[in-house]
Chain A
């Protein structure tokens, strides 16, 4: 695979530069540091990731945060395979936050697979070379004549062997090889990669052992609840602290002043008690005067009215992409389609509510136990806020009860650090209620699109125009996690195309939600293209194949994770064909059932999905979903991979059917699972998944299976009822 080898070389050439906060990414891992010395026991630490004990136990560090994506199992699989380790002898430990030692530690963007596919294998292959060198020394034989298998170095000539445990202490004294030059396995020799391996922590989880962030228990620990204004951007004027301090079990209550950065610390009151429930009860007695400011008048309804007016006016603020002559195309069109699409704010609501534990040591250094998807960003952010150097903020990474992008923002880490600083020597665990979580999230921004398509007399798509209405938060630090790319499909494939946008000002915090941008854009674009297909008398897959007809793979570019393969129409064709074949597309459906198709390319993965839905008695049922995905040459852990795809599909269906966050009076109206109804077991359809293998380096699966299921569902409903869903969540009344 010449492409893969080239990728590897370039990946390692890129220096690992980490900046504070957010998605600070880097492609390379640092030169693998050798831990100081071999301990007295016959044990060897071969590099920052691998330690081998005399009893042959191989301890491998899982460096990335585990949010349920299976990374704590998967990254060590890469190391263990290249080491030729026996998986039964592998023990995995979670690494603490340490950029110098481990390189980037991040759970987001489906980045872990593309970022680590080569570096982690190189770590394992390097360790193997060191074991070979140790055996070579011991036996006085050229290491090129030795082989390895399942935790042993073997001398094929004599048949003798040494276990890795027997070689560990010697191997630890061997020079670390240049990892960019260590030979990697031929994929046909993988013995761990490609095996369905269960989650490494699952045996503990089924027994209820403490393993999540909120399970952290420290001697003398106290619990904090935090009351902030439901109105975004509000400032605290005063609070009746004394009334709260006298409540049962309360240890203290104090005002925390924000630092001007809503992604770190906002104004509020901390209530500390010996039990969180007591703190939360006492919190109900709080009477706080807030200065809600100008943002208290904001509402979803207001945003919607403004956006509809802006779309009607048709004067966008800025152009994103402009190809050919759109005006001429529309002037000459035989048929013009014109439609408005919209989608709501969404919350993340991972099952484990936001929490974090912090201990301010007597010297002012902070020690934290953080369920964070970006612990390195949390570390630098907290250090900066407290005026400490990052080495004075020690961050232990805990397993997380879900992430979905919520824990990319570390506001709760900053909150507990600010609280713990007031109570040196006392460990503090901050816990948010579910209401806090729903109302203090960083939301998937709502959005509106006015789309127009021009068709010539043969029904060919000759012009495409989008006016996108999105949001902007004034001030530093805020970014739009749902920004539209100038290359959003079908840009570059339609001769005359124009993308433009207008930004509304808001204070509603915005953040990346699983498959950011794509989770909304797939619905909008694939639904509208389905309208275009219908108007020209064909189906969506036929239209998509026509749009990319004759197009070739685009050149690679530099992305977040290093070199990023260019868009490849061949992969679109392959997954589309596979999904049609799996679903029996075109077959006669049972009465009242219809199929819908959706395709999307995101996070370097190509997915085509078909949904079978019905509508009966005002209720939508999704019966079957067929998903074909191409995420490269290798599925690393089929167990985890399939679980991610199944979960993403149900997640997407749930969003489409029922989820919306509404703003009223500058605050979120919803509060818990009764009015933010995450899908439950009865929603679950039968899901069939197939991976189309391609000659591309493997990429991630946390996200790309989600986006296409939404338009596949709305397109199925359009086929079923003749009514087009152009606004999410689906309003069943519009279908009957």
Chain B
């Protein structure tokens, strides 16, 4: 029996067991490979997506557990002002080296600013510490997040919501 999951605004039917992690359903059942496999144990954050706007590790989230939850992936990040602002800041800061973890970093950063539009440096550290960047581009990730927070995009988004 197919499992139904709402992904990026569209209900998708996935012909896979209910305990299949969302990560593998996205990548290999739906061909959405923007969400990355890093550790399989929710230790590195490379697979981060949003479920109802909350940063969630898709490698450890069975598709059968999502129910009515709305999943957003990196492929749809640019559809919001905040997501787009973060993508632009990432390019402006030339954040990445290999870039493999950056989808997860961007999803975690977006979730942070959604819930806390004006995070302190310490709060950024705390919220982002679940995301490993093996190239250690942390200085730039932090600076890109700070830049977007200071631009007020997140605050504006929150006021409109």
Contact = CB atoms under 8 A, between A and B. Distances in A.
Interface of A: 67-70, 196, 198-199, 201-203, 205-212, 214-215, 217, 223, 248, 274-278, 349-353, 399-404, 431, 433-435, 639-640, 643-644, 646-647, 649-651, 654, 672-674, 678-684, 687
A277 B24 contact: yes
B96 A647 contact: no
Nearest to B129: A680
B56 interface: no
28 contacts: A68-B135, A198-B91, A199-B94, A202-B90, A205-B96, A205-B102, A206-B77, A206-B90, A210-B34, A211-B99, A212-B100, A214-B37, A248-B17, A275-B24, A351-B132, A400-B98, A434-B40, A435-B40, A649-B136, A673-B41, A674-B43, A680-B130, A680-B132, A680-B138, A681-B138, A681-B141, A681-B142, A684-B139
A399 B94 CA distance: 17
Given A207-B78, A207-B87, A679-B136, A401 B100 contact: yes
A352 B94 contact: no
B33 interface: yes
A433 B40 contact: yes
A650 B136 contact: yes
Nearest to A653: B136
B28 interface: yes
Given A209-B34, A681-B125, 9 more contacts: A202-B95, A206-B90, A207-B78, A214-B33, A353-B37, A401-B101, A433-B40, A673-B44, A681-B133
Contacts of B32: 208
A672 B91 contact: no
Contacts of A672: 39-41, 43
Contacts of B101: 351, 401
B67 interface: no
Instruction: Give the size category of B's interface with A.
Output: 35 or more
A146 to B, nearest CB: 36
Nearest to A433: B40
A159 B114 CA distance: 56
A651 B136 contact: yes
A379 to B, nearest CB: 22
A433 B126 CA distance: 27
Given A214-B37, A275-B16, A679-B136, A208 B74 contact: yes
Chain A CB within 10 A, most for which of B17, B38, B135: B135
Contacts of B150: none
A205 B140 contact: no
B9 interface: no
Nearest to A685: B139
B55 interface: no
Interface of B: 16-17, 20-21, 23-24, 28-29, 31-41, 43-44, 46, 73-75, 77-78, 87, 90-91, 94-103, 106, 124-126, 128-142
A687 B102 contact: no
A353 B44 CA distance: 12
B138 A67 contact: no
A351 B134 contact: yes
Contacts of B29: 275
Contacts of B24: 275-277
A684 B103 contact: no
Contacts of A435: 40
Contacts of A680: 128-132, 138
Contacts of A651: 136
A684 B138 contact: yes
A70 B135 CA distance: 12
B38 A351 contact: yes
Contacts of A640: 94
Contact of B75 (A208, A277, A433, A679): A208
Given A217-B33, A353-B38, A674-B41, A202 B132 contact: no
A207 B132 contact: no
Nearest to A638: B94
A43 to B, nearest CB: 30
B39 A673 contact: yes
Interface centre among A196, A199, A201 (most CB of B within 10 A): A199
Contacts of A679: 136
A654 B136 CA distance: 10
A203 B40 contact: no
A202 B99 contact: yes
Contact of A402 (B33, B103, B129, B134): B134
A276 B31 CA distance: 13
Q: Which 4 interchain pairs have the tightest Cβ spacing?
A: A208-B34, A401-B100, A68-B98, A208-B74
A460 B101 CA distance: 50
A399 B97 CA distance: 11
A352 B100 contact: yes
Contacts of B140: 643, 646
Contacts of A211: 99
B134 A206 contact: no
